[in-house]
Structures are given as structure tokens and as C-alpha cells.
Structure 1
Amino acid sequence: MAEARLADVHRHARSLLTTAGIENAELDARLLVEWVTGFDRLETIRNPHSGVAADVLARLDAVLNRRINGESVHRIIGRRAFFGLEFSLSADTLEPRPDTEALVELALPFLQQRVAENGVADLIDLGTGTGAIAIALLGQVRHLRAVGVDIAPGALVTARDNAHLNGVSNRFAALHSSWFAEVTGGFDMIISNPPYIRSNDIANLQPEVAMHDPVLALDGGADGLEPYRIIAAQAESYLRANGAVAVEIGFDQRIDVETIFAKSGFALKGLQKDIGGHERAMLFMKL
């Protein structure tokens, strides 16, 4: 394809994604065109007749085909915003999604109070992935320290990079561990967005998730609740006095998760809904 005008490139991208039935085709097209061409939205408005070279158009078509084949925009671009910060993604990490901001919002007042009382607080993030939860909290609470735990070494590399990217690497440590297996010491809060999808449901998820997200970060066992059982059973051994556990849950898991924690002597102390109005985050403390 010969050189094309920027405005026409946007129309071409929108048309391809719309015809393919991509949800939010207009937004996805704009983000991908901006990423590939280097022309941001303001440049497109000011100079719609700017030329886009043939080799750039070829790269754009390849990227648009990836989107049509089910890869998400953010995974293609390799980064995503979360809680006002930017995070790099990798094959071993989930994308941090807006629903998870509910977990950060629920944990934040507790951690701020612990710092106010003690001058410092320690957090452990189980299944840290990109590090988004821990790093977002570090960005909000100046005297907080965090350990990000993950079973995937590649995720830990990404989390360390994101801690550096967001200026909190001096307060973030990454630990290779399956849940608490390699964890030592005590913490003011244990936090986790664990895998909570039922094993048999993974194949039926949106292609962006089922085909491109790491299965280890999705699969919560036969009923989707196995990680909560592990966390609830072992959390007390790693919590300081009056510490708390905060977890993200699936939209229909509130009663089951509350029951699991109650069996280990924890009481529900906080509940946060996500942007869609679903109960998404729970905070527990020992009775």
C-alpha cells in the first residue's frame, strides 16, 4: 500500500475492526494507530493530511490482525494504565484491569492508618503479576513497604521493572514462591487478586482472556475457590497483631469466600464494589 493520509488511516483501522465485530472498535483503532504511527490524537486533529509511510501501514495492518484474532489492545501495546500509573505487561502477567482498583481502594485506608500508628507498614501481595496492586499502594502510602510474590519468574521480572518505572523500587521486593511456601516474617496486610476462574470455565472466557492471558493467573481450581482456602488457612501465621487480609473476588463469590475465611477465624470488615457495581473486594481480620 502506498503512503496514505493520517485521517484515512484512522478510517481504515476503524472499518477493519468494526467489520470484524470488535467491541469498542473506534477506541481500539485509535489507540493502535497512535501507537504504530507515533501521531497522537492532537496531531491527528491538527494535521489529518499528514502522510503515513507504506512500511508503517504494513505494520499497522499486522497489528490490526492481531486485534481481530483476539489479542487485546493493551497486550499488543505492552502496557496499561492502572490507578493513575503505567504498567508494562508480559506473557506471564494479567493486564491490570479497572475492577481491581476496588481492591486498592479498600486496602488503602487500612494501610494509611497502620502507617499513622506505627510510622511504617509492610504489605505482601500474593500473585503479584505486574505488581500493579502493590505498586499502586506504594505510590499512595509513602512509608509502606511491599513484597510481591509470584510463582512465575517472568512475572517477577515485570513487577521489578514496573516498580522501577513508577519510582518505588527501593520499597518493593520480589519473591519467587508458590503462595506462602518461601515467605518469612510478618506483615500488616496480606493482599491478593488470586486466580478465581473455575477450571472448566476458562475456555469460555472472552478470546482476549482465554487465548492470551496466562492460565496460571486465571485457574482457581474446580470451583474457583482453591486459592482462597490456601490464603485463609495460612494467613494468620504471617499477620502481625490486628493485621488484615484483602482479596479480590469473582462477581458471585462473596458468600463462599466469606464462609472460607470464617472457618479460619476471620471476620469480614470491609467490602468494596467495582465500577460495574459488583462486590469485588473483601477485607478480613481475625476475630
Structure 2
Amino acid sequence: MAQATEAPAGTTAEGPTQHTQNQVQGLAKLRVPFPQEQISPLPKIICGECSRSRTKVCENPRHAKSKCKECGNYITQAHMHLDYVGHAELTNRLLEADPLWDWEPLALNQRGLPQFDENGGLWIRLTVCGHTRLGYGDAQGKPGPNAIKEAIGDALRNAAMRFGAALDLWAKSDLREAQSEHPKTAEDDGYTSERPAAARQERPAEQAKPAPSQPSEQLERLLRQVSDCWNSNNVLIFNQIGEDASQHGVLDEEFTDKRGAVTTLRKILDGKVAEIQAAQGGDAGRSAA
């Protein structure tokens, strides 16, 4: 008689497999809080006028640029700090959770490169332990190759947060940003209110200061020189303009600029000279990516 063939053993295991257990353990590693030494302060300008300015500083003297002792950046004093984890620290955590983690752009352009949207942002898919989630990042309007790397790093942090990575830092940063958008002394500190004019509380008439007169002919001439030489990194040029203004008695003449802020030529020149000297001294801002 022919021997009966024994049926093979079942191939489906009951309960969680070793693979799924590894996935759970890997995803759990992403949620472990980052140690303090891996958390850095990220500066964020909270003055609307400073943000919109070409030099990232407005005419308010209390917002003058200086080297921040906390983050090391040469930046307007009207800024706050958000706790964030850098690209290298996040990459190390992803590798600990899943050595085979990967990311890809959500869309490609005609050249096969990652497609950035009309706001300069990048959508990505981040895959960790077999699970994929979306993320979005941008470089805050910065141009150039470093901006692309910053957008990628920002997108990875955003997508990893969906897995729980540095979620506590995101929560605290969101709260700090929300608290800074409408400070109690916004107008006094030179911030720009986003509320409609009708909704703002008008100041008493007796506190209003008379608007300065239009710049004199000599001051207008010197302001044109400053505008023509603005992209120059030669401190001597701006010092010479200051000496010329001092000789004509217009260095401290107040006038209203195009944004409606009251300023003087001295403030403009001092700010520009300080910016050039800081740049030449190597006090460059760090990239977040």
C-alpha cells in the first residue's frame, strides 16, 4: 500500500511574530525623549517688521542685531527660541529604530527630482518599521542648496513627529509660538499687529507723537547713496556717508521711512556697519537641517 502523505505543518503562527515584535520595539524607540545634550535652540523672529525686512531687522532700536548668547546667531533681539532636534540626531534615532528606514518625495518633477510646491515646501513619505507616514518641510523662504537640505531635514522632523519622535518638543514649541503671536506689549516692542485697524485699541490722542517732517534735500541725497551702496561690504563707504551727514547736520534728523517707521540715518548706518562687521567676523547663522 502506498503510504499516506503527511500534511505539512501550518505556516501561520498564532499571536505576534518576531517580526511584528521587532516593529513594535523599533517604533517605541522613536518615542523615547531625546537627551538634553541633543536638543538645540532654534531662533525664530517674532517681529513682523524684522521678518519682512531685507536685513531681518526693523528700525526699532530695541530690536538691533546682536550675537545671541543662547543660540550663537547674530540676529535681531526680537526673537524667541524653539527646542529642536537636529538632522544628525534624528537620523541616528531612526537608524536605532529601523536600520532600513527610508524616505521619498511625494512627487517628482519633469527632471526626476523632488517636486517642491508653490510655497517652496516639500512633501515626503517616511517609512519606518514597515509603516509609512507623510511629512512636510520648508526652508522659510531661503534660497540655494542649503535651503533644499534644510527643507528635507524639516520634512523628516515633521514626518518623524507623526511617529512620536520629539513629540514633547513639538508640543512645547507650538505653545511658545502661540504665546508669542499676540504679546501684551506688541506695539511697544515694535511688533506688527495682524488684527484689523478697527479692532485695535486706539491710544489716547495726547500720547500720539507728531509725525516727523519729510527728509531734507541733503538727507535725501545721502539716503540715495546708502541705497546705491547697500549691497557693498565696505565699511568705509558707510562711515564716509556718516561723516558727510554729520557735516551737514542731518545724521540724527528723524524721518519716516517707506514702512512708516521713524528712524534716522545714524541708526541705519550703525545697523549696516554692525551687520558687515559681524559677517566678516564669521558670526553666521546655523542651519536647522
How high is the TM-score relative to the length of structure 2? 0.21
- Greater RCO, 1 or 2 (C-alpha within 8 Å, sep 6+): 2
Higher helix content, 1 or 2: 1
User: Could you tell me the TM-score, scaled by structure 1's length?
Assistant: 0.21
Of Structure 1 and Structure 2, the greater strand share is in: 1
Tell me which structure has the larger Cα radius of gyration: 2
